[in-house]
Amino acid sequence: MPYVADEKRYSDMLYNRSGKSGIKLPAISLGLWQNFGGNQPLENSRAMILKAFDLGITHFDLANNYGPPAGSAEETFGAVYKKDLVPYRDELLISTKAGYYMWEGPYGEWGSRKNLLSSLDRSLTRMGLDYVDVFYSHRPDPETPLEETMGALDHAVRQGKALYVGLSNYSMEQTSEAVKILKKLGTPCLIHQPSYSMLNRWVEDGLQDVLNENGVGSIAYCPLGRGQLTNKYVDKIEAESKATSSTMKPEAITPERVQKFRSLEALAASRGQTLSQMALNWVLREGGATSALIGVSRVSQIEENVKALESAPLSAEELTEIDAILNNLADIPW
């Protein structure tokens, strides 16, 4: 049976304007960073992409190096697009990025004009697209002049191969300068993609102010703290803390840390939510990110994450309680 999108796909999703642009992003966006590579069953990837769209997720975030192997996530998306989503192209917001290592030699990574524009051509070929909606500089290049990198993004738009441009992993100072250059070139920065969660709040130390002042939106990756802000993680660290031996770092499974996560979990439960759902509400609170970029491995996770939008926004009292719980809670990877 040919795929037909759910006719109610726009009934429940929340859409937020990206800065001062004309673009609205779904509050929940789907990232194809992991679990969509060539090492995964295509039908599972297809099911997740189509379920996301059926739930009103119009934004699909990729990069040239997503996989594994690198490039294969774009190939996966391209296969699903060709089979199912071509009729819906104008309803989709598709992004990709360049900057991390992709091929041998001096032009296979970083932020030169040569790398970015060559990479974009390769990405378009892998996805079977004439253009992407957003093209990002995936990371700042310490050796290439910022003017060259931003000039390449501007050129991609003027070529018609991208509609908007964005930055990812740029510091406050780098972002401020890049935004100024892009504005002068006539291609304003649409969006910044930083890592951001309850456990990783670096954007609040100036970057968010720069974005607000310049009318730039933001989309948070790792909003669940690389899986730490999930009930599964809380169960794991508590079990590990009681085990005779553990594969986790000792500082990750202290009784105090377990208790803090249990307190977060209890607060979420009092709201009728899972911890991951509350974590998404936190990232999307007023003054937070425009959109939260989720990574998933199965359809049910998309459904659970989108249900976070059914709950009321976090109250001032709840935000204060979260801050108190998180006091001195370190962000420790799995």
Burial (CB count within 10 angstroms: exposed 0-12, middle 13-18, buried 19+), residue 39: exposed
Domain harbouring 75, CATH code:
3.20.20.100
Residue-level pLDDT at 332: 79
Band of pLDDT at residue 243, cut at 50, 70 and 90: confident
Count up the domains in the chain and report the number: 1
- Read off the pTM: 0.96
Query: Which amino acid does the sequence have at 122?
Result: R
The C-alpha atoms of residue 149 and residue 135 are separated, in whole angstroms, by: 12
Asked whether residue 275 is domain-assigned, the answer is no
For residue 194, the enclosing domain spans 15-225+283-298
Q: Strand locations in 102-155, DSSP E? A: 132-137
The per-residue pLDDT for range 89-144, each reduced to its tens digit, is 999 999 999 999 999 999 999 999 999 999 999 999 999 999 999 999 999 999 99
The C-alpha atoms of residue 135 and residue 98 are separated, in whole angstroms, by: 8
Check residue 29 and report its DSSP letter: E
Q: What are phi and psi of 306, to 5 degrees?
A: -65, -30
Query: Which amino acid does the sequence have at 133?
Result: D
Q: Are 228 and 33 in contact (CB under 8 A)?
A: no
Asked whether residue 249 is domain-assigned, the answer is no
Widest pairwise Cα distance in the chain: 61
Band of pLDDT at residue 334, cut at 50, 70 and 90: low
Asked whether residue 287 is domain-assigned, the answer is yes
Residue-level pLDDT at 330: 78
Asked whether residue 116 is domain-assigned, the answer is yes
Burial (CB count within 10 angstroms: exposed 0-12, middle 13-18, buried 19+), residue 41: exposed
Q: Are 233 and 252 in contact (CB under 8 A)?
A: no
Residue-level pLDDT at 179: 98
| Mean pLDDT of the region 316-324 | 98
The C-alpha atoms of residue 92 and residue 69 are separated, in whole angstroms, by: 25
Residue-level pLDDT at 328: 83
Band of pLDDT at residue 276, cut at 50, 70 and 90: very high
Asked whether residue 265 is domain-assigned, the answer is no
Cβ atoms within 10 Å of 90's Cβ, excluding its own: 5
The per-residue pLDDT for range 148-186, each reduced to its tens digit, is 999 999 999 999 999 999 999 999 999 999 999 999 999
Residue-level pLDDT at 75: 98
Residue-level pLDDT at 16: 98
Query: Which amino acid does the sequence have at 49?
Result: I
Residue-level pLDDT at 173: 98
Asked whether residue 90 is domain-assigned, the answer is yes
Give how far Cα 65 sits from Cα of 96, 103, 188, 323, Å. 10, 10, 25, 35
Asked whether residue 126 is domain-assigned, the answer is yes
User: Do β-strands 59-61 and 93-98 pair in parallel, antiparallel, or remain unpaired?
Assistant: parallel
**pLDDT above 70 for 222:** yes
